[in-house]
Amino acid sequence: MGNRVSPELSRLLSERKITRAQISRDMILKEIEAAETDLKDAKDSFENDKFKWATIQSYYSMFHSARALLFSSGYREKSHYALLLAVRELFSKELERSLIGRFEDGMILRQEADYGLKFSETGAIDTVDGAEELLARAKEILRIK
């Protein structure tokens, strides 16, 4: 990307949906640690047939993985949706389109589980699997073991 800012990123910045920020490596590592913890908790919830919590926890694992990526680019988000748009824009070459789609699907499933009390075993499986994949990919991109 270099110093050029895409029109979408420029819009997010001008609307203050994302902002430039001083981000330390420790902050990025803390997000990855949160993603790992949330994923473990989601798997534990799933094993106990708590599909609502598995969906919510695995989405938050995805959120923290995506946030680590955004932080690595020197930005902070102001909303979950802005995070999705910014990561889609900034990491379109590193993240497969299907993985970004899984993050977006996880966001929707989490909202339905949290606010609509609509959740299922299938949705939990999809979100846990997506979280696992996004975390692994984020760690590769960020060169974290």
Instruction: Output DSSP code: residue 19.
Output: E
pTM: 0.94
Q: Give the chain's length.
A: 145
Q: For residues 140 and 137, give the distance between their C-alpha atoms in angstroms, rounded to a whole number.
A: 5
Walk me through the domains of the chain, giving residue ranges and CATH numbers.
7-142 (1.20.120.330)
Q: For residues 102 and 137, give the distance between their C-alpha atoms in angstroms, rounded to a whole number.
A: 13
Q: What is the dihedral of CA 31, 35, 38, 39, to 10 degrees?
A: -170
Instruction: Output DSSP code: residue 15.
Output: T
Q: Please list the ranges in the chain whose pLDDT falls under 50.
A: 1-2
In order of 5, 25, 73, the CA distances from 69 in angstroms are 17, 11, 7
Q: What is the dihedral of CA 11, 13, 18, 24, to 10 degrees?
A: 140
The pair of structure tokens assigned to 108 is 């929707």
Q: For residues 92 and 108, give the distance between their C-alpha atoms in angstroms, rounded to a whole number.
A: 21
